[in-house]
Amino acid sequence: DAGVIQSPRHEVTEMGQEVTLRCKPISGHDYLFWYRQTMMRGLELLIYFNNNVPIDDSGMPEDRFSAKMPNASFSTLKIQPSEPRDSAVYFCASSWEQGGRTQYFGPGTRLLVL
Amino acid sequence: GNSVTQMEGPVTLSEEAFLTINCTYTATGYPSLFWYVQYPGEGLQLLLKATKADDKGSNKGFEATYRKETTSFHLEKGSVQVSDSAVYFCALSGTQGGSEKLVFGKGTKLTVNP
């Protein structure tokens, strides 16, 4: 399997612009997680889905952030409008019910908001 | 709630030195415990895991034993290599609702010098 795929790998944008991050989980996995990693705050769970349904979005920082999972093979994380403090590396991870809670991470999207 | 505490870094060692990275946890119930590794510019990768008390996880010369009596899961390696330079994260799974979530420590950066 190709593993978790994220795009783009790098994104540079200006404050106020909309940013969309994309994730394709490992085929057959039924859980999908979005994380944010910064030097100051470490690794934070933003939201996770089970069978395409959002289960826990308590980590989403504010209304500017939204996530969707329209089908089992695709998810998006959108920031609108973006702010400089959103600059971070965003990771997507997936896991499956029978996998002993092991999560498999994508390579991340490095976002810089100017 | 569940939490993980791992030793502050950074840790700098010479090649072939012995490595210990301490990890202790607080949890209700019986979580699974994990060590993940993050190489520069990459996502997190599972290094090893243990699912019940007294289990030993091992991989690539690294080991960690699930100690319920001391609520610990310390990572060890007998002889580190330059290629082991990375950030290491201790994590535990949820034990009740939301058990698919992982709680991560803040990470310990290891640098191995030749």
Cβ distance A104 to B98 less than 8 Å, yes or no, reads: no
DSSP for residue A58: T
The predicted-structure confidence for A60-79, as pLDDT tens digits, reads as follows 988 999 999 999 999 999 99
Q: What is the 3-state secondary structure (H, E, C) of B35-95?
A: EEEECCCCCEEEEEEECCCCCEEEECCEEEECECCCCECCEEECCCCHHHCEEEEEEEECC
To probe the interface with B, which of A96, A98, A103 has the most B CB atoms within 10 Å?
Answer: A103
Distance in Å, alpha carbon of A87 to nearest chain B alpha carbon: 15
- Which among B32, B36, B107 has CB closest to A101? B32
Checking if the pLDDT of A106 tops 80, the result is: yes
Cβ distance A105 to B98 less than 8 Å, yes or no, reads: no
Distance CA A8, CA B55 (A): 39
Distance in Å, alpha carbon of B42 to nearest chain A alpha carbon: 5
Instruction: Check residue B94 and give its pLDDT.
Output: 73
Tokens representing residue A105 in the block:
């991470």
For residue B85, count other CB atoms closer than 10 A to its CB: 16
How high is the mean pLDDT of chain A?
94
The predicted-structure confidence for B3-22, as pLDDT tens digits, reads as follows 999 988 899 999 999 999 99
- Which among B32, B93, B100 has CB closest to A48? B100
Q: Does the bond joining A107 to the residue before it have cis omega, within 30 degrees of 0?
A: no
Question: At a CB cut-off of 8 Å and minimum separation 6, what does A74 contact?
Answer: A22, A23, A24
